[in-house]
Amino acid sequence: MSFTRRTFLQTGAALPLLGSLPTLAKAELSLGSATLTTVSDGNLVLPANFIFETMPQDELAPLIQEFSLSGERITPECNLALYQDGTNTVLFDVGSGPDFMPSAGSVVNSLDAIGVAPEDVTHVLFTHAHPDHIWGLLDDFDEPVFYEAEYMMGRAEWDYWWNPETVNTIGDARAAFAVGAKRRMEMIENAVTLFDDGQEVLPGIAAVSTPGHTPGHMAFEVRNGSHAAMILGDAIGNHHVAFRKPDWRSGSDQDGDLAIKTRNMLLDRLSSEQMDLIGFHLPNGGIGRAEKSADGYTFVSEAS
């Protein structure tokens, strides 16, 4: 398969540390007669320990230096995948919306920059229900942004966040995640379709169970003819330690040990099949491939 018409749309300097308007990044992948495009929702601003605290610090230090990371904070991109096959316009996740972080929540502007209006989206498929993936469901008036879309979520993920006990068991640091997810899910309760692992949720789009980051996290294999790509969500959450050291526990994962198994499964498959991937928090628009290396794996960006 080939990459076509990659552009990066600049609408002003991005200052992620200050929470200013983000760069609108677009990367596009040709998938047979269909296209997969990533559109930016901005970026997150997180304390570095949110990911790194659970890792061996002596071994981590050289990687922080190699990848020019900050030991204080990280600012990962938020890249939403948009699939268009001439019939369906499918958005994977909906971003952060106006209530999570000032540096994120710009997906509607990014879609507008490529000529896609909210009402053009026919389906929204959720990888999981963390704030940067589902809080963008509602606008400032608590109305659904993608009001013409059919909403679809994995059954295990829906059941987890719908359970009234989740807010009491998820831990204080993530309690607001549970409250925010439930409130938004209540708005689509009567309009959501649930699916299970391995199910073809739409023509050419199959659900792939990838738990660990959340209990019911789903990736999606998108196939058009002989061409395929994997939409990862947060199952592989960054381009540095997740690839180089997939056996390290990440503080961003709700079940660190299960996430390790999922990460290794995905990286082995993606590298052996040389399948294109789209990662929500991977750099330069998030499209690329995984290559096996002597010390783990390497993310090879489509933009590199």
Give 9-67 pLDDT, tens digit per residue. 222 223 333 333 444 556 889 998 999 999 999 999 999 999 999 999 999 999 999 99
pLDDT at 303 (0 to 100) = 77
Average pLDDT of the chain? 91
Q: How confident is the model at residue 6 (pLDDT cuts 50, 70, 90)?
A: very low
Give 192-240 pLDDT, tens digit per residue. 999 999 999 999 999 999 999 999 999 999 999 889 999 999 999 999 9
pLDDT at 226 (0 to 100) = 87
Ramachandran angles phi, psi of 139, nearest 5°? -90, -170
**% the chain with pLDDT above 90:** 87
Residue 185 and residue 161 in contact, taking contact as beta carbons nearer than 8 Å = yes
Mean pLDDT within 87-91: 98
pLDDT at 143 (0 to 100) = 93
Beta bridge partners, 28, equal 37
Tokens of 192: 């959501």
Beta bridge partners, 289, equal 300
Give 123-154 pLDDT, tens digit per residue. 999 999 999 999 999 999 999 999 999 999 99
Round to whole Å and give the CA distance between 151 and 125.
Answer: 6
Round to whole Å and give the CA distance between 304 and 301.
Answer: 5
Q: Which CATH superfamily is domain 7-301 in?
A: Ribonuclease Z/Hydroxyacylglutathione hydrolase-like (3.60.15.10)
pLDDT at 26 (0 to 100) = 66
Q: Helices 175-187 and 155-162: crossing angle, nearest 10°?
A: 110
Residue 47 and residue 17 in contact, taking contact as beta carbons nearer than 8 Å = no
pLDDT at 7 (0 to 100) = 26
The DSSP string of 128-165 is --SHHHHGGGB-TTS-BSSTTPEEEEEHHHHHHHHSTT
Name the residue ranges covered by the structural domains of the chain: 7-301
23 vs 280, higher pLDDT: 280
State the pairing for strand pair 205-209/200-202: antiparallel
Least confident range from 4-18, 101-115, 118-132, 158-172: namely: 4-18
Tokens of 287: 């499209």
